[in-house]
A and B are shown apart, each in its own frame.
Chain A
Amino acid sequence: LAKTTQPVSMDSYEGQEVNITCSHNNIATNDYITWYQQFPSQGPRFIIQGYKTKVTNEVASLFIPADRKSSTLSLPRVSLSDTAVYYCLSERDDKIIFGKGTRLHILP
């Protein structure tokens, strides 16, 4: 399974667009990239998943370049409630391993 590397923490302000980049240099052909959000004392919540290029849903966009060695989660116009830990994972049909995640702190 590909090991992922993310910034430990990030700060941003309400209303801004936040981009969190994750590197996964050893990603395998069958791996998908999935991002989860976790609030304190709650289970992770699925945000978005992609294989390559760009994926967009109602809460985020995911950009994956052609070499798939990195991915960027984009959160448009963040609010205080987006303060959480964000995990980037490579996921196949067996299991996923969580990295340390990025602690995002949104300031008023």
Chain B
Amino acid sequence: GAVVSQHPSRVICKSGTSVKIECRSLDFQATTMFWYRQFPKQSLMLMATSNEGSKATYEQGVEKDKFLINHASLTLSTLTVTSAHPEDSSFYICSARSGFGADTQYFGPGTRLTVL
């Protein structure tokens, strides 16, 4: 149980285009989903937290107009990188949690974004 999927697994796009990444909880309902970004040889950096049906909470320094997050259902959250630039190239990882307290997060396999 507790499987989280991401789609696509990798994407290459031209500078200036927008890219949407999907995160799905396959066998549980995720009240909260998180989006992380990871650069090579570095740790995961939390970008934003989203709760189903409400606006995402962004971490300091993350542009909410550039990284659009939608958590429209209990099993799906999307991250859209708008007007992508080469510096947005990174490994994007989502995680999902079903409840509160000791309920841990389960991570997706990640999406490798390359902006040319």
Residues of A whose CB lies within 8 Å of any CB of B are 32, 34, 36, 41-46, 49, 51, 87, 91, 93-101
In the bound assembly, the distance between CA atoms of A43 and B103 in angstroms comes to 18
- Chain B's nearest CB lies how many Å from the CB of A64? 14
Determine whether the beta carbon of A95 is less than 8 Å from that of B102: no
Classify the secondary structure of A's interface with B: loop
Query: In this complex, what residue of B is CB-closest to A91?
Result: B104
Question: Which A residues are CB-close (under 8 A) to B112?
Answer: 41
Determine whether the beta carbon of B109 is less than 8 Å from that of A43: yes
Determine whether the beta carbon of B46 is less than 8 Å from that of A97: yes
Determine whether the beta carbon of A96 is less than 8 Å from that of B110: no
Interface size class of B (residues with CB under 8 A): 20 to 34
In the bound assembly, the distance between CA atoms of A42 and B111 in angstroms comes to 9
Determine whether the beta carbon of A43 is less than 8 Å from that of B108: yes
Residues of B whose CB lies within 8 Å of any CB of A are 2, 4, 6, 34, 36, 43-46, 49, 91, 93, 95, 100-110, 112
Residue from A43, A46, A51, A93 in contact with B93 in the complex, judged by beta carbons closer than 8 Å = A43
Question: Which B residues are CB-close (under 8 A) to A36?
Answer: 107
In the bound assembly, the distance between CA atoms of A99 and B46 in angstroms comes to 11
A43-B107, A44-B107, A46-B106 are known contacts. Are A87 and B101 too (CB-CB below 8 A)? no
Determine whether the beta carbon of B101 is less than 8 Å from that of A93: yes
- Chain A's nearest CB lies how many Å from the CB of B72? 20
Question: Which B residues are CB-close (under 8 A) to A45?
Answer: 107
Question: Which B residues are CB-close (under 8 A) to A32?
Answer: 102, 104
